[in-house]
Structure 1
């Protein structure tokens, strides 16, 4: 029993620093959730301050879509003072768990997004920024959603700590480059969350944490395409949430209004063009050093060491450099990845003739711009281009002078069709072939100037 009042019943969750228990409030006779700081952190001043700050931050908020905080205390355990937070017990599952049970309908995604945005708007109105919006921190119940875990919350305008805290897949660029906490960072994270729920993948193709962090700062997101059941004003809204410049993003209140049905854009109107946002000099200056530092040492500080919410490659294949042909690693139907990991294959084939794309004006990266060509009988690929094969189709790609991947040609295999292609130049160029429920994704990145393909089934 904690504080002579709360009886711990069973653990129901845990994170990097704490364990959440189902408990009973013996005074009021109700079931509650108690977040108890793990014993090894009990003597850590920063950890104790963090959980106390979470209690104060959430307790100051009163909103139907924010889990309520009832009490804070410190218990004696093995001679240590262990802090705990008493919270509303939310009956439901996390949005992360819900999304794994099947594809959510666009209407449900918009409803969830509107309620999360409304909760954020309330927090922002009180000068509080959540800083860790992700599916695992959104509880889905019969009566709507509840935003939980204000453990990383901070006051708007406060200085960002030197230690980067959060989940890599949802970190706004200014979290890595700015000095002040901004409410727009929550809107960015919500935009990533909604994009992933609607499109089924991230706004960027990244096969490592380093690529993901780099993409947030330097790479423009692939615009959310027109999707069945998603009004154009909502597509445009989500694309605005992902702007690099915080001032160009909508407020959480506007997001709630649009997703909730009170669209500020005329229904049926085409979405406005998603122009690349202006970049603060601060965003670009020192980016390479920032990412290198994060890659080497920063990851252990992210989200208490939690795993990133991203696809990591289970197998890769690297075609030889020069004019030699890659070795065939799989047949038309693909093979199981090394290590027996089902669903991920890696395939390369000898270079086949493919029609090169039309000559186009060079882009700032020194490569042709525009969409690559698709051909059933391609021919005449230049040196440095590698062709990869999967059950869904083939893709030919090369590396640019600055080490980015670019798809130069592709061809689906009947009955597959091209669902989506992001030709690059990018950290990872990607194409998705689809035949009904069967979906094959080929991601191409560059290693030492050589195209590398990851095929995910």
Structure 2
């Protein structure tokens, strides 16, 4: 059926799946019985112009982007009382859900990361920065892994940063310092996730935001037992300086057997003190601009 013609009233709500700061997500059914994840902006969002515009952008991106490793939007209305976004529903949940059951095998982890890398390459080629790459935004359908949630995405048309965009455990050092998000910021988040999937733990941890921030800014990732080529590319993705940071494309080339992609400098060697770029002030991102 032509889902794009459907309005919110066409979907039958079954249960609440999640409640976020700006929206709630329901399990719903389309008229043909297909299960969907129905995202509805919270009432208070409709009176906040900035958040209303962000939701409208999320609807537009979800309905226009077309890649096998991106969550597909089915129908939506960007604004008004009937605003909504219907998305693919994944019975298997997210990568975060899967990791709670135990670590992935290296083969599955590399397959997952390769698919996410392809999604990021597609987005970056179109001037889109996801800004929230993490396991809870990776959805699973068998052996297919899809990047979703464009709620804080940054585009050429809407480059303004959001307050608290991203998740601290996965945020690039420069973002803690108030610098703007770039494709390199996504690459770092991807690198954190790559380390987590391949090593079995996050590279940087802390009990407080201050401890997490300090780790991202000043600490090197711990040693791993990964094969040298994987260890190097993951560390290059985690370079403190975005100017020397590896890319998802380089990671994909390494996994596919192209050693030339290892040309990026090892951040632990090229920058012994592992200094991030100079910035406008600590926690700059956590203030509105």
Alignment match, 1:283: 277
Alignment match, 1:211: 211
* Alpha-carbon separation, structure 2, partners of 1:58 and 1:174: 27
Structure 2 CA distance for partners of 1:251 and 1:158, relative to 1, 3 Å: farther
Structure 2 CA distance for partners of 1:286 and 1:183, relative to 1, 3 Å: closer
Deviation at 1:67, TM superposition (A): 0.6
Q: Per the alignment, in what secondary structure is the counterpart of residue 83 of structure 2?
A: strand
* Alpha-carbon separation, structure 2, partners of 1:163 and 1:203: 24
Structure 2 CA distance for partners of 1:157 and 1:11, relative to 1, 3 Å: closer
Return the match for 2:70 from 42, 66, 73: 66
* Alpha-carbon separation, structure 1, partners of 2:79 and 2:50: 18
| Mapping of residues 291-330 of structure 1, within 5 Å | 291=283, 298=286
Alignment match, 2:161: 161
Alignment match, 1:38: 42
Deviation at 1:85, TM superposition (A): 0.8
Q: How many residue pairs align between the two structures? A: 279
Structure 2 CA distance for partners of 1:56 and 1:279, relative to 1, 3 Å: farther
Contact preservation (8 Å) 2:172, 2:216: yes
Q: Per the alignment, in what secondary structure is the counterpart of residue 203 of structure 2?
A: coil
Contact preservation (8 Å) 1:54, 1:150: yes
Q: CA RMSD in A?
A: 3.0
Report the TM-score when normalising by structure 1: 0.55
**Structure ranking higher on relative contact order (CA contacts 8 Å, 6+ apart):** 2
Deviation at 1:161, TM superposition (A): 2.4
* Alpha-carbon separation, structure 2, partners of 1:70 and 1:179: 34
Deviation at 1:150, TM superposition (A): 0.8
Structure 2 CA distance for partners of 1:254 and 1:156, relative to 1, 3 Å: farther
Contact preservation (8 Å) 1:67, 1:87: yes
Structure 2 CA distance for partners of 1:53 and 1:286, relative to 1, 3 Å: closer
- From the two aligned structures, give the one with the greater strand fraction: 1
* Alpha-carbon separation, structure 1, partners of 2:150 and 2:238: 22
Q: Per the alignment, in what secondary structure is the counterpart of residue 66 of structure 1?
A: coil
| Mapping of residues 23-422 of structure 1, within 5 Å | 23-26=28-31, 30-73=34-77, 81-155=81-155, 159-161=159-161, 163-177=163-177, 179-217=179-217, 219-227=218-226, 231-259=227-255, 262-265=256-259, 274-277=268-271, 283-285=277-279, 287=281, 290-291=282-283, 298=286
Alignment match, 1:320: none
Q: Per the alignment, in what secondary structure is the counterpart of residue 257 of structure 1?
A: helix
Q: Per the alignment, in what secondary structure is the counterpart of residue 47 of structure 2?
A: coil
Contact preservation (8 Å) 1:41, 1:48: yes
Structure 2 CA distance for partners of 1:224 and 1:55, relative to 1, 3 Å: farther
Deviation at 1:116, TM superposition (A): 0.8
* Alpha-carbon separation, structure 2, partners of 1:233 and 1:199: 14
